[in-house]
Amino acid sequence: MSVRGHTLEIHSSPHIASGASVDVIMRNVVLALLPVSAFAVYSFGLAAALTLVVAVFSCVATEHLLCRLAATPTTVRDWSVTITGLLYGLTLPPALPLWMVACGGVIGVAMAKFLFGGLGYNAFNPALVGRAFLQAAFPVAMTSWTPAFAADRFSQLPASTFTVPFAAPVYDGVSGATPLSLFKFDGQLTATGDLLLGLTNGSAGETCAVLILAGGLYLAARKMLNWRIPLAILATVAGLSWVFHMLAPADYPPAGFMLFSGGLMLGAVFMATDMVASPITNAGCVVYGILIGVLVTVIRLWGGMPEGVMYAILLANAASPHIDGLIQPRVFGTGRGEP
Amino acid sequence: MFSALRQHRSFAHGIHPPEAKDDTRDLPIKQFPFAPVMIVPLSQHIGKPATAVVREGQEVERGQLIAEPDGFVSVAMHAPVSGVIQRIGLAPGINGRMSPAIFLKPFPGSSQEVSEGVPCELETASPEDILLAIQRAGIVGLGGAAFPTHVKLKVPDDKHIDTLIINGVECEPYLTTDHRVMLEQQADIFTGVRYLLKVTGAERAIIGVEANKLDVASALRAALPGDMPITVEVVAVKYPQGAEKMLISALLGREVPSGGLPSDVSVVSVNVATTAEIGRLLPHGRGIQERVITIGGPAISKKGNYRIPIGTPLRFALEYAGMADNVSRVFLGGPMMGQALPSLDIPITKGTSGFIAFSDAQTAAPIEYPCIHCAYCVDACPLFLNPSQLGLLARAGQVERMADEFNLLDCFECGSCSYVCPAHIPLVQRFRAAKSLVRKRRAAS
């Protein structure tokens, strides 16, 4: 409105903002995942590097092309799909055929994110949906592990990496069983120190608990991650497995092994904490974390598969809106609801 | 060095916007000159407009009653300057609407002298006498709400008040009027508290100040009269600490019930500048004809705390304070809850606590992302509402659900949710619209 030479802008208060932005939060999550990704490449070599690149590229390209197709502005610049791609790649066996990597990325982003309405509306973690699709479609490839720290990991690629689509992948002689499958099928325990430092076999980014925790601490300190979720998950798994280990030490592994093996750390710190697919209240987040912890323990101890983190988180994602429906903040000056 | 570690009392949640008070906090209050024409709107408060008791051409003295309260929820108006009533007609208000006002042309060289009225003697006056005197003095909440103070002080018969809270928090960025009033008008404040204690029957009074005004706290403590049950408490620097419900929670740990009033938890709270005005005016039987206002912001060269006559045209005030030619945004009040003004041709009223002017070019509106459920707003809302959920419902147009299931009407529009939102969703702006829609629908049915 122009008044005697002055053009005044009017809008509704507040007239200042904190400067927080979705893309900044997302970029920081990517940043927190970089050390984990670097360690994945360091321990599994070229195969892990290619897996991560193809995973990120397939996810980002899918979102970009779908936005184009829907004639909406591309949303890849908010960085959320980069997180999805990176996380997805980190959950895969390093020698997975690249065409399968691309398939899962496309499915995860298209089905679990774009069809639901994009960022903010995805009921499930898209990275895990992509992985769940691969687990169902290619169960053998998804459980064929390569050994970490192979001498030729920076010079040679596993034969399986460049498998022609729809052909059965060929694996080199040496297989690298994961700590969880070693325990489940051979009753063999891995040392907790090796698990913490990532000296074991497994999915590309799940092995080094220390680096995953460091990334989580960074995000929690910057308030970009609700620490109650990983804490509730880890405490529940530790508590339950401690009880069962005390009851029958021969049948059930100790709490330390349960905590630091498999995808639990990566899942608890980076997957379960997806803001969109987790509850909004702190109390709800604790309930959600406990639910994941119980499901992980149950699947690992009594399920047919050695690992259960992925399904536990996906199930809890489905429960999340219902947890929000039951647990709302107690409004100031009212007595009802959660404290 | 340990003072930084000391924890001050506070309410839960809230935000920490930049305080931006350094430019004006140390500047003493300065008297403002009279404008060539003063415009006194008949409605400067919440409630019914006052009724003019002067006619065109009449000569009035500074401080003389020029409009009487119309009913209980209404207050009187007084001449801000000695002069001639030019006319009684329509003048633009802050919302852009025209409303009746008295136009007053000052006599050349009018003095600042104010005419005396019938004093309200503290010792002999009954609580009812004091309430009437406050209404006749035209006193309203000077913190910005402009709610008639005597209405607020009228405690229902079935309620007992144990604590009177004097609100000197001033948590809005940029504003420093209460800060200066507390440093410069301590005697007025204590006199005001005496009147308020008598009116409310409260057993004690607490002056609450934010920890960014420790100079005020120590000065007030040093000056406390020994014969009064009054203390000074420092609360944490946090927005919106100055909101009535939040300050009561910080000082006493009591929650005003949803939809209730402070008297429901045996408290009455009054803004400190309002208290000072009561103490300044009642002993002389005068009415409000000026108030302290912070004029600040990057587009003002002579920033300061000014005692400005009510009815001074804003343009005159800003030009006197050295407004930059390229001013682009002017807010009435602070940047968190203040209103952006569409025009400078409005008069200053009793509810005006500050004007903040900016000259920066319009920053491009930030991209609005979808809600990512980060819960920043849930952690910021001082009333423990769920702004995220309310925002989604607002988007879907489900205003009834917002009110019925998610306590929309408790929202007092502090703006903390919009301030923190990383998705840049205009949450409080949508709640404001939804609230008025709900109120209109409920009034209609």
In a domain, A337, yes or no: no
Binary contact (A17, B418; C-beta < 8 A): yes
CB distance from A275 to chain B under 8 Å?
Answer: yes
In a domain, A336, yes or no: no
Confidence of residue A337 (pLDDT cuts 50, 70, 90): very low
Structural domains of chain A, count: 1
In a domain, A134, yes or no: yes
Looking at residue B178, the DSSP 8-state letter turns out to be H
CA distance A30 to B183: 51
pLDDT at A181: 83
| Contact yes or no for B140/B44 (Cβ under 8 A) | yes
Q: B410: Cβ–Cβ under 8 A, 6 or more apart, which residues? A: A331, A332, A333, B258, B259, B383, B385
Could you give the 3-state DSSP secondary structure of residue A244? helix
Binary contact (A20, B362; C-beta < 8 A): no
Which residues are bridge partners to B201 per DSSP?
none
Binary contact (A12, B362; C-beta < 8 A): no
CA distance A192 to A183: 13
SS (H, E, C) A85-114: HHHHHHCCCCCCCHHHHHHHHHHHHHHHHH
Quote the percentage of chain A above a pLDDT of 70. Answer: 96
pLDDT at B372: 95
> Which of 43-82 (A) contact B at CB < 8 A?
78, 80
In a domain, A47, yes or no: yes
Give chain B's radius of gyration (CA, Å).
22
**Residues A65-122: tens digit of each pLDDT:** 999 999 999 999 999 999 999 999 999 999 999 999 999 999 999 999 999 999 999 9
CA distance B122 to B102: 32
What ipTM score was computed for the predicted complex, to two decimals? 0.91
On whether the B2-25+121-284 domain is CATH 3.40.50.11540, my answer is yes
DSSP string covering B196-227, please? HHHHH--SEEEEEEEGGGHHHHHHHHHH--TT
Nearest residue to B257 (alpha-carbon basis) of B409, B401, B443: B409
pLDDT at B11: 93
Nearest residue to B279 (alpha-carbon basis) of B197, B202, B216, B203: B197
How many Cβ atoms are within 10 Å of B160's Cβ, its own excluded?
Answer: 13
Binary contact (A20, B415; C-beta < 8 A): no
pLDDT at B1: 40
CA distance A105 to A54: 9
**Looking at the predicted structure, is the pLDDT value of residue A1 above 50?**
no
Could you give the 3-state DSSP secondary structure of residue B77? strand
Q: At residue A2, what are phi and psi to the nearest 5 degrees?
A: -100, 125
pLDDT at A267: 96
Tokens linked to A315:
């199930």
Q: Where are the domains of chain B?
A: 2-25+121-284, 32-107+289-358, 376-444
Mean pLDDT (chain A) is 91
Peptide bond into B422 cis (omega under 30): no
Buried b (16+ CB within 10 A) or exposed e, B305-343: bbbbbbbbbbbbbbebbebbeebbbbbbbbbbbbbbbbb
> Which of 388-417 (B) contact A at CB < 8 A?
388-389, 406-407, 410, 413, 415
| Contact yes or no for B299/B327 (Cβ under 8 A) | yes
Could you give the 3-state DSSP secondary structure of residue A20? coil
- Element of type H or E holding B128: helix B127-136
Residue range A175-200: mean pLDDT, rounded = 82
One-letter amino acid for residue B128 of the chain: E
> Which of 285-324 (A) contact B at CB < 8 A?
324
Residue range A168-174: mean pLDDT, rounded = 72
CA distance A59 to A37: 16
CA distance B285 to B117: 4
Write down the H helix ranges in A6-108: 22-44, 46-69, 80-90, 98-107
In a domain, A17, yes or no: no
CA distance B240 to B247: 9
Confidence of residue A339 (pLDDT cuts 50, 70, 90): very low
In a domain, A156, yes or no: yes
CA distance A218 to A212: 10
CA distance A282 to A267: 19
Q: Print the domain residue range for A262.
A: 22-326
Peptide bond into A147 cis (omega under 30): no
CB distance from B21 to chain A under 8 Å?
Answer: no
Binary contact (B375, A281; C-beta < 8 A): yes
Peptide bond into A14 cis (omega under 30): yes
Q: A97: Cβ–Cβ under 8 A, 6 or more apart, which residues? A: A141, A160, A161, A162, A163, A165, A169
Cα-based distances in Å from B18 to A339, B142, B197, B237: 30, 23, 35, 11
In a domain, A209, yes or no: yes
| Contact yes or no for B284/B117 (Cβ under 8 A) | yes
CATH number at residue A237: 1.10.3430
Confidence of residue A196 (pLDDT cuts 50, 70, 90): confident
B382 to chain A, closest Cα gap in Å: 8
pLDDT at B359: 85
CA distance B295 to B318: 8
Tokens linked to B99:
């409303």
Write down the H helix ranges in A108-226: 126-137, 179-186, 192-197, 209-221
**pLDDT-flagged residues of chain B (< 50):** 1-3
